[in-house]
Chains A and B, each alone.
Chain A
Amino acid sequence: MSKIVVVTSGKGGVGKTTSTASIGVALAVTGKRVCIVDFDVGLRNLDLVMGAERRVVYDFINVARGDAKLTQALIRDKRVSTLYLLAASQTRDKDALTDDGVERVIGDLRQNFDWVICDSPAGIERGALLAMRFAEHAVVVTNPEVSSVRDSDRIIGLLDSRTRRAERGEIMEKHLLLTRFDPTRSSRGEMLSVADVLDILSIPLLGVIPESEEILRASNLGEPVTMSPASPAGRSYREAARRLSGETLPVTIPGEKKTLLTRLFGRRAA
């Protein structure tokens, strides 16, 4: 039984594409067949983050319109053999994707993959609504920062009203992925805590990804952090992927520094 997941956030720049790529890799290395799909028409980037930018021949819109077969458009990852990418089109025509077209492509992907992970564009426009439309699970990527939390709250409202599942009265599974988290600053009361964000958004926690220099390095190289066994951010993403698969794991926050100063003052300030 395949699972359709949307990675969404409302706000841009919080780590949707990085998270899609990292979770996609983490699921695929366990042997599951995974397809990551870029919904950001006109501003595709998942190909770049995956290091596959020079291999895109056909894209999502070519397939949706019947100009290319799905098998022609799917790009197989060179490092993880069960991982595939469906790139977004670079066309300027934002209306090129239709409800019917997306439904058909998602239906075809469902036949061939265990996981279909849809990387949503930012915003709450058509592209973002289409990315979430046929999903059963949503990963809401949020930074511990006021504007991101507010936009995530808005997206959660849309997930509960504008998706196929919501319209049928079925449950849309929502998961919070807190990214760019700095445990030291949070313990000093300078940054919203994990508990704060959970309390405000009231959806279950999928994982906490620490702010990390490795993330930029990974996108520079086109090699998601989950491909490096030693990376703390990669480990957090791998754990998040296991939770998404249904495993129960305690959430750990790697890199949490317990200096004398934060022990003494951190909790008091928070």
Chain B
Amino acid sequence: MTLFGFFKSRATAPIARERLQILLAHERVALGPTDLIAILRDELIATIARHIDFDPDKVSVKMDRTASFSTLEIDVEIPCDKVKTSRTPLIPSAEASPA
């Protein structure tokens, strides 16, 4: 074991290979071939920021893929006092005009 252990301790390539395989399996899903998650994240932040003051770093967008379906998980942390309470309607329309 001591002689073999000497050679074994130098063989770090299998460790590198395994670490890369795990990391890239993760990153390929997260980044996707089209950076879909990054695009979704940016657009969601822009939309939410129009109505709520919040920290963009507290937005998490995850996509998980299984053989049969994918799930999109959006997690936005909002401080309790930051929801904009303006009286102007979010979507200006005829219904909102005073009678």
Contacts and interface: CB of A to CB of B under 8 A. Distances in A.
Interface of A: 145-146, 149-150, 153-154, 157, 160-161, 186, 188-193, 196, 199-200, 265, 268-270
A200 B20 contact: yes
B50 interface: no
B23 A269 contact: no
B33 A160 contact: yes
A190 B21 CA distance: 17
Nearest to A268: B7
B18 to A, nearest CB: 10
A205 B11 CA distance: 24
Contacts of B10: 188-190, 269
Contacts of B65: none
Nearest to A153: B24
B84 interface: no
A146 B7 contact: no
A1 to B, nearest CB: 28
B33 A269 contact: no
B92 to A, nearest CB: 36
Interface of B: 7-8, 10-14, 16-17, 19-21, 23-24, 27-28, 31-35
A247 B23 CA distance: 35
A192 B7 CA distance: 16
Give the dominant DSSP class at A's interface: helix
Contacts of A199: 17
Contacts of B12: 189-190
Contacts of A192: 13, 16-17
A161 B14 contact: no
A270 B11 CA distance: 7
A146 B19 contact: yes
Contacts of A193: 13
B22 to A, nearest CB: 11
Contact of A200 (B17, B32, B33, B35): B17
Given A146-B19, A189-B14, A192-B17, A153 B27 contact: yes
Q: Which of B8, B16, B19, B31 has the most CB of A within 10 A?
A: B16
